[in-house]
């Protein structure tokens, strides 16, 4: 296990960061120092979890061997401990898989309603709720930084900033088209309807060397609008920034301060510009975020069928479940893990 989890490397990184933190000038750059201290805490937590697993495994092996010698059946409590330990080992293995360039970064998750008016906009809102529930269960912090409400119901689009350990690593596989089949709640005849929404996940990137010419930016202010008044303000402080050379647009409306909204929108813009440069290389683009395709027929990564039967199926991993209520309530870990293990 020690060789698989490369404990010596982790301990070496911890020693290096601890040595850096004792230098007299360490806190001169407070932002960088804070990031290094967070990384140090993450590495120590990782080693601590591994050592706990190693200790528990040793104790269980010794106990089971003793029971075998005495020809005694393994107690139910011990079997439960073994199952719990297996789950902990699987979680650690998954963290080993999440070692990509930006996997440890925070994530910017955007949802866009596909063609189809109110049906698609309601589906986009259902996905927003699903991801908010997932991030809550995962212990991540999710903040809506931009949301555009639908005319009758739902949302046209929304962007979440998701903060937490390996947030982008876990969420990157959600990029793609999500398809919903159900009886329409907006149709008097309650006919079966198919809706599409596009999910796009990018890492939040802090690129210190990236300089943006103010002349390349068009900054517009507008009144925030969105589904659910608790998510947005009602002043004219919302900000939309367009990078004229690339036509990349970002917006923020969660803060009451126009200055804060501008800072948020710029942060998202910088992440997108860094990726824009990297994605000129098609191979790098696929590694970072996969293919971004139109929210329409034939392009879906996952189907959510609520009628005539209950079934959610991921078309990349073939994993499926009939627990549609649980999944739409945020229980998507099984799909996320299956995708990550398939891609490793």
Residues 152 and 14 in one domain: no
Burial of residue 153, with CB atoms counted within 10 A of its CB: 0-12 exposed, 13-18 middle, 19 or more buried:
middle
The answer to whether residues 45 and 144 belong to one domain is no
Q: What is the DSSP letter of 185?
A: T
Q: Is the pLDDT of residue 295 over 90?
A: no
For residue 65, pLDDT over 90 is answered with yes
Last residue of a domain, one of 80, 97, 114: 97
What is the layout of strands, in order, in the sheet containing 238-243?
217-222, 238-243, 248-252
- State whether 77 and 160 are in the same domain: no
Domain that holds residue 14: 2-97
Residues 71 and 179 in one domain: no
Question: For 328-334, what is the mean pLDDT?
Answer: 97
- Per-residue confidence at 106, pLDDT binned at 50, 70, 90? very high
Domain shared by 83 and 180, yes or no: no
Of the pLDDT bands very low, low, confident and very high (cuts 50, 70, 90), residue 229 is very low
**Same domain membership, residue 125 and residue 86:** no
Which pLDDT score is estimated for 180?
A: 96
Q: Single out the residue in 97, 126, 149 at which a domain terminates.
A: 97
> What value does the mean pLDDT take over residues 239-264?
89
Question: Which CATH number is 258's domain given?
Answer: 3.30.70.1660
For residues 80 and 131, state if they share a domain. Answer: no
What CATH number did the domain enclosing 80 receive? 1.20.58
Residues 6+ apart with CB under 8 A from 177: 114, 196, 197, 198, 199, 293, 294, 295, 296, 299, 300, 301
The total of structural domains in the chain comes to 2
Residue 318, pLDDT score: 96
The model carries a pTM of 0.80
Provide, rounded to the nearest whole percent, the portion of the chain with pLDDT above 70: 89
Shared-domain flag, residues 148 and 55: no
What pLDDT score was predicted for residue 312? 98
Residue 207 in this model has a pLDDT that exceeds 60: yes
pLDDT in tens, 302-321: 999 999 999 999 999 999 99
Note whether 287 and 167 are same-domain residues.
Answer: yes
Looking at the structure, do residues 6 and 47 belong to the same domain, yes or no? yes
Confidence grade of residue 228 (pLDDT, cut at 50, 70, 90): very low
Does 251 lie in the same domain as 115?
A: yes
Residue 144 and residue 68 share a domain: no
Categorize the per-residue pLDDT at 49 as very low, low, confident or very high, splitting at 50, 70 and 90: confident
Q: How confident is the model at residue 283 (pLDDT cuts 50, 70, 90)?
A: low
pLDDT of 157 higher than 70: yes
Domain boundary pick from 97, 126, 143: 97
């Amino acid at each position: 296990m020690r060789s698989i989890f490369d404990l010596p490397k982790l301990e070496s990184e911890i020693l290096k960061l601890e040595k850096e933190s004792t230098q007299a000038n360490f806190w001169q750059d407070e932002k960088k120092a804070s990031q290094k201290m967070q990384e140090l805490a993450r590495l120590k937590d990782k080693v601590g979890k591994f050592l706990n697993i190693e200790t528990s495994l040793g104790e269980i092996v010794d106990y089971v061997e003793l029971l075998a010698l005495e020809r005694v059946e393994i107690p139910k409590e011990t079997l439960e401990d073994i199952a719990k330990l297996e789950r902990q080992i699987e979680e650690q293995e998954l963290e080993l898989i999440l070692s990509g360039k930006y996997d440890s970064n925070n994530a910017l998750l955007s949802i866009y309603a596909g063609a189809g008016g109110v049906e698609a906009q309601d589906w986009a809102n259902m996905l927003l709720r699903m991801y908010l529930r997932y991030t809550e269960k995962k212990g991540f912090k999710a903040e809506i930084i931009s949301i555009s409400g639908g005319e009758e119901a739902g949302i046209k689009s929304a962007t979440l900033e998701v903060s937490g350990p390996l947030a982008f690593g876990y969420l990157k596989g959600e990029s793609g088209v999500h398809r919903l089949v159900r009886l329409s709640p907006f149709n008097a005849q309650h006919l079966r309807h198919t809706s599409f929404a596009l999910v796009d996940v990018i890492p939040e990137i802090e690129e210190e060397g990236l300089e943006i010419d103010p002349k390349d930016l068009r900054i517009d202010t507008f009144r925030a609008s969105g589904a659910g008044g608790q998510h947005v303000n009602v002043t004219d402080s919302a900000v939309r920034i367009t990078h004229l050379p690339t036509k990349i647009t970002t917006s923020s409306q969660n803060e009451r301060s126009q200055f804060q909204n501008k800072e948020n929108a710029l942060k998202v813009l910088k992440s997108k510009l860094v990726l824009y440069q990297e994605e000129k290389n098609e191979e790098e683009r696929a590694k970072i975020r996969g293919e971004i395709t139109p929210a329409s027929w034939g392009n879906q990564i996952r189907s959510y069928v609520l009628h005539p039967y209950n079934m959610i199926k991921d078309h990349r991993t073939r994993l499926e479940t009939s627990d549609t209520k649980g999944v739409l309530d945020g229980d998507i870990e099984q799909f996320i893990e299956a995708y990550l293990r398939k891609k490793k």
